[in-house]
Structure 1
Amino acid sequence: MSILPVSKKEQVMFGLMMCTGMVLVMMTLNLWHTGMLSQMSVMQMLLQFVICFALAFLVESFIVGPVARKITFSIPFARVSKIKGVVTLSFLMVIGMVLVMSLYGIITAYLAGQLDGVSVFNAYLHTIARNFSLALPYQLIVLGPLVRYVFGKLFKRQAAVVSV
């Protein structure tokens, strides 16, 4: 059993929890991959986290989330089976967020001079592939179930129960 948000307040809390977990892991992976993790101070990493988190939360709340929900709930099998709906929504959210946040990563790498002599387009495609290959299983297997469980404990009485 898991609980999903039903009110706007609950949606915001759920989004904050999901964004925190995704940004923390994806940012750490990308900083490690580019060799920046060992070169940044704690304050620089904290600033990077705050910026990434703010951008991810805004994109998820106002662009990717609404589009993903609209597409998911227009697909008949996603409306009939709750597990298929959750998986479809998660899949669409990961696609949208990886596309946008990978673009953010490439822009920041370009501005920091890390793409000297590298095709920006190829770097973007490579970043998308790398991020998607981690984000999808992490979302479906680890973070999604964990956030739904914790959310369910926090909002026991206010949210609708969904079998997942």
Structure 2
Amino acid sequence: MPKTKFQEFIYGVLMTFFMVIAMELYNAGVRSGTLTYSAFPSAFLEMRFMFPICFVMGFFFIDRLAPKIAFKMAVPGKDNPVLVTTVRACVTVVFMCPIMSFWATMIFKQPGINFLPIWLQTIACNFPMALCWQLFFCGPLVRFLFRHIFPSTAKSKAPARAGL
């Protein structure tokens, strides 16, 4: 996937955009009891806060920590690439969901003295959506877009076979 800092930046922007917009729409639907088109303006307004926070937390902190943890569980080059990608995505969500739920609780929920239970409830509500969205939709979509923006990253050099 990304091979340069610029490519890491673009990948991070894409991943952040699609994760944040989906989670903002999801939370708008949870708040109102149903997801309608009226949720889109508020979701895009909330992105003003959540996108920069998510990008900074992910790009500068979690994207450095998650691979170290994930690659102890699934080793690139040794384990199945699908397993490696899945474990990496799961570890990222395990860290990003509580972090972003913390910020959402602080910014949107005015928790006061009940911060801890409201934050834990926010995590519990958001985690299943964040994990499923990341594994089944956002991750594959962003990797697809990234391969089309940077086609040279999709080509891997196959080892030469002896005797040919």
Q: Could you say what secondary structure the match of 2:104 adopts?
A: helix
Determine the C-alpha separation between the residues in 2 that align with 1:95 and 1:34: 23
Please report how far the alpha carbon of residue 108 of structure 1 lies from its aligned counterpart in structure 2 after TM superposition.
Answer: 1.5
What is the CA deviation profile of residues 62-105 of structure 1, one whole-angstrom value per residue up to 9, with x for unaligned ones?
11111101212333x33322222111110011111101000011
Aligned residue for 1:84? 83
TM-score normalised over the length of structure 2: 0.81
Structure 1, unpaired ranges of 5+: none
Q: 2:19 aligns with which of 2, 19, 22?
A: 22
| More RCO (CA 8 Å, sep 6+) | 1
Please identify runs of 4+ aligned residues in structure 1 that moved more than 2 A: 34-42, 44-47, 158-162
Aligned residue for 1:107? 106
Percent identical among aligned pairs is: 25
- Structure 1 residues 131, 160: closer, same or farther in 2, change over 3 A? farther
Please report how far the alpha carbon of residue 109 of structure 1 lies from its aligned counterpart in structure 2 after TM superposition.
Answer: 2.9
User: Alignment length, in residue pairs?
Assistant: 153
- Structure 1 residues 40, 142: closer, same or farther in 2, change over 3 A? closer
Aligned residue for 1:31? 28
Q: Could you say what secondary structure the match of 1:74 adopts?
A: helix
Preserved CA contact (<8 Å) 2:63 2:92: yes
Determine the C-alpha separation between the residues in 1 that align with 2:140 and 2:121: 28
- Structure 1 residues 33, 7: closer, same or farther in 2, change over 3 A? same
What is the CA deviation profile of residues 21-56 of structure 1, one whole-angstrom value per residue up to 9, with x for unaligned ones?
0000101111232239889893x6444212100000
Aligned residue for 2:72? 74
Preserved CA contact (<8 Å) 1:19 1:57: yes
Please report how far the alpha carbon of residue 159 of structure 1 lies from its aligned counterpart in structure 2 after TM superposition.
Answer: 5.3
- Structure 1 residues 40, 133: closer, same or farther in 2, change over 3 A? closer
CA RMSD of aligned residues (A): 2.6
Matched, 1:65 2:63: yes
Aligned residue for 1:6? 3
Determine the C-alpha separation between the residues in 1 that align with 2:46 and 2:89: 25
- Structure 1 residues 18, 41: closer, same or farther in 2, change over 3 A? closer
Preserved CA contact (<8 Å) 2:105 2:119: yes
Determine the C-alpha separation between the residues in 1 that align with 2:66 and 2:40: 36
One-letter amino acid matched to 1:10: Q
